[in-house]
Amino acid sequence: MWVTVLLGGLQNFGNFLLKYWKEVVIGLMVATIGYQNFATTRFFFGADTIPYLKAQNVKLAADFKTAVTANATLTQSITALNSTIEADAAQSAQEQAQITALQGKLNTMAANNSKKVQTILNTPTPKYCETSISLLRQYQKQLTWGAQQ
């Protein structure tokens, strides 16, 4: 029974479409144009509407401005860090040059002290007090203490 009612309804609908097909097509076109121009949300097939795209454009423009500002801030921070790193590298190079110079001086002093120690060790040890005093007088000018160097 419901099948006959359904088929009868389809027949009536088919007759209606055959009789008023131009009006149906025009109605569908008006509905599509209205949907595209006035709907702010996407209802059918994920199709983007003009108001939806305008809202997205405004949002993306704001996001773009935020990104440009963040990019400028990041560029300034990177530039400041790069200048700090360059200054630190220059300072490090100066300190390395000082270390190299001091190492050379230290090596020279160590060699000189080693020669002095070897001279002292090679000098025969006095066995009597008079020879010790005589030896001290002989090396008196070579003896230096603290800041007298």
Q: How confident is the model over 2-48, as pLDDT tens digits?
A: 667 666 676 777 788 788 888 888 998 988 887 777 776 666 666 67
Q: How confident is the model over 100-139, as pLDDT tens digits?
A: 999 999 999 888 888 877 877 787 777 888 888 887 787 7
| Cα torsion 13, 14, 18, 19: sign | negative
User: Per-residue pLDDT for 148 more than 60?
Assistant: no
Residue 18 exposure: Cα atoms within 13 Å on the Cβ side: 6
